A and B are shown apart, each in its own frame.
Chain A
Amino acid sequence: HHIRMISEGSCDTEDWSYDLGNPQLRIFRPTFNLTLVRPGKEQPPDTVQFRIPLEMTKFDVRNYLEKIYSVPVAAVRTRIQYCTNKKRNHLNQRVKRPDYKVAYVQLAQQQTFQFPDIFPEKDQKHEEGSVEEMQEKFMEDERQRQKSDPRRGGVTEWFGL
């Protein structure tokens, strides 16, 4: 039983070839990482967009989400995004931006997903006497100094007097 837990090195860089009659190929400790991304274009409410490694297939994505995250998957569509090799560094050598694969996953059972706002504005209370508080005070003072005279009622300094 213990031996089943250990695999022959779970490196996904092996050439997984299958011949008729061989046991089902399995990966025990997958090294694939999925990144949930906010869609650039408007997507239907049941579609979730992922960036996946180039070597992953639609079947892999489906199994990954169903087994590890228990997310019901209805359909998966993938495409490969080719990134530029045109940019040059300070030595005039071409620098390649790595390619990536995008997967559009449609959830089953009429579930919907909306990408949440992960960086909401939060007002922070700095502790007394800390550096951040002094900086905040300084910035506040600067902003106050830059503001025009409120008694002028929004009229610009260009008009004399």
Chain B
Amino acid sequence: MSAAVASRLTAVCRQFQRVLTVSSHTQTQYATRAFSTFHSCQQSRMYDSWCFRSPMNNRAVHTSCVRKGLEEFFDLPENWGEQTVKSGAPWTAKQLRVKSNEDLHKLWYVFLKEKNMLLTLEQEAKRQRLPMPSPERLKKVERSMKRLDTVVEEREDSLRLLQTGQERGRPGEWRRNVFGKTFWYRFREHPIPWYLNSRYKRRRFFEPSHVAPYTRLSLEKYLRSKIRKEKREKRNQKSLAAMFPKKTALASDH
């Protein structure tokens, strides 16, 4: 069963591989543990049930728990001093949507730790005035985290719509500020009602009468810029069509 599971795992996070290296470490040069029983190895917990496809590393499979906390701020020791470190593609939203909520929650922390490691590496590289190995990993992690956020938000939205019919998690409304601009005002929680809140009453959510002409002017400006943009686009297309007429294109095909 474990072999089948191992074969299912195409690639595994650094976190898991670390364990195998950690168990052979009797004494590391930079972190000493006075009491080795600080972390109880939770072997029973199931990392093999995750069909985990990690973007991070294409390495052999190891399953065990992670001990040694501060080691996780650094890469695996064999990568230190390398010019480039191999890493896979970032997670796409499509791949993330297949995962359960628990998996996404755990994956978020995997991304977080990876990002912390990369930031540490970047800062140390700046300190030593050396190039950081494979800086594209940072972008990959950031994109994966953003996509995870999108997926979770989608699920939250759909759940909320089904259960309550509310479109937004946080209530708000359209209001006009002193400058005549309409904006989305998000409500805050207060222990007292608004008519007892003196600071709130000083905020004016209406435009004074002398500001009204300027709203009209800014609206006109906005419309003018929009029309000008469209006209420019059309003019561009026309000039391009004049440079590259369709007749010659068709003629060159045949």
Interfacial chain B residues near A72, Cβ < 8 Å: 38
Are B31 and A118 in contact, with the CB atoms below 8 A? Answer: no
Q: Verify if B233 is at the interface (C-beta below 8 Å from A).
A: no
Interfacial chain A residues near B34, Cβ < 8 Å: 109-111
A35-B116 contact in complex given A6-B152, A68-B109, A69-B70, C-beta closer than 8 Å: yes
Interface locus among B1-9, B153-161, B208-216: B153-161
In the bound complex, how far is the Cα of B152 from the Cα of A17, in angstroms? 24
Interface locus among A26-34, A74-82, A83-91: A26-34
Are B115 and A33 in contact, with the CB atoms below 8 A? Answer: yes
In the bound complex, how far is the Cα of B73 from the Cα of A68, in angstroms? 12
Q: Determine which residue in B35, B108, B112, B115 has the highest number of CB atoms from chain A within 10 A of its CB, and name it.
A: B112
Are B101 and A2 in contact, with the CB atoms below 8 A? Answer: yes
State the Cβ distance, A107 to closest chain B Cβ, in Å.
Answer: 8
In the bound complex, how far is the Cα of B75 from the Cα of A145, in angstroms? 40
Interface locus among A119-127, A136-144, A152-160: A119-127
Q: Verify if A114 is at the interface (C-beta below 8 Å from B).
A: yes
Are B102 and A111 in contact, with the CB atoms below 8 A? Answer: no
Q: Indicate the size class of the contact surface on chain B.
A: 35 or more
Within 8 A of A (CB), among B64-100: 67, 69-70, 72-75, 80-83
Are B109 and A3 in contact, with the CB atoms below 8 A? Answer: no
Are A120 and B81 in contact, with the CB atoms below 8 A? Answer: yes
Are B30 and A116 in contact, with the CB atoms below 8 A? Answer: yes
Are A71 and B74 in contact, with the CB atoms below 8 A? Answer: no
Are A113 and B70 in contact, with the CB atoms below 8 A? Answer: yes
Within 8 A of A (CB), among B115-158: 115-116, 119-125, 127-128, 130, 149, 152-153, 155-156
Q: How many A-B residue pairs have CB under 8 A?
A: 110
Partner of A33, one of B116, B130, B189: B116
Are A115 and B69 in contact, with the CB atoms below 8 A? Answer: no
Within 8 A of B (CB), among A92-115: 109-115
Q: Verify if A19 is at the interface (C-beta below 8 Å from B).
A: yes
Are B123 and A48 in contact, with the CB atoms below 8 A? Answer: no
Interfacial chain B residues near A51, Cβ < 8 Å: 123
Are A121 and B74 in contact, with the CB atoms below 8 A? Answer: no
Q: Verify if B33 is at the interface (C-beta below 8 Å from A).
A: yes
Within 8 A of A (CB), among B25-74: 29-35, 38-39, 67, 69-70, 72-74
State the Cβ distance, B175 to closest chain A Cβ, in Å.
Answer: 18
Interfacial chain B residues near A37, Cβ < 8 Å: 120, 123-124, 127
Q: Verify if A150 is at the interface (C-beta below 8 Å from B).
A: no
A29-B105 contact in complex given A9-B153, A111-B32, A119-B80, C-beta closer than 8 Å: yes
Are A111 and B33 in contact, with the CB atoms below 8 A? Answer: yes
Q: Verify if B247 is at the interface (C-beta below 8 Å from A).
A: no
In the bound complex, how far is the Cα of B105 from the Cα of A72, in angstroms? 23
Q: Verify if B170 is at the interface (C-beta below 8 Å from A).
A: yes
Q: Verify if B191 is at the interface (C-beta below 8 Å from A).
A: yes
A65-B69 contact in complex given A119-B80, A119-B124, C-beta closer than 8 Å: yes
Q: Which residue of B lies closest to A5 (CB)?
A: B101
In the bound complex, how far is the Cα of B38 from the Cα of A72, in angstroms? 9
A5-B69 contact in complex given A35-B116, A35-B119, A118-B121, C-beta closer than 8 Å: no
29 contacts between A and B (CB under 8 A): A5-B101, A5-B104, A5-B105, A6-B101, A9-B156, A9-B170, A17-B188, A19-B191, A29-B108, A29-B152, A33-B115, A35-B119, A36-B73, A37-B127, A68-B112, A69-B70, A69-B72, A69-B73, A72-B38, A110-B34, A111-B31, A114-B30, A116-B80, A118-B74, A118-B81, A118-B121, A118-B128, A119-B128, A122-B81
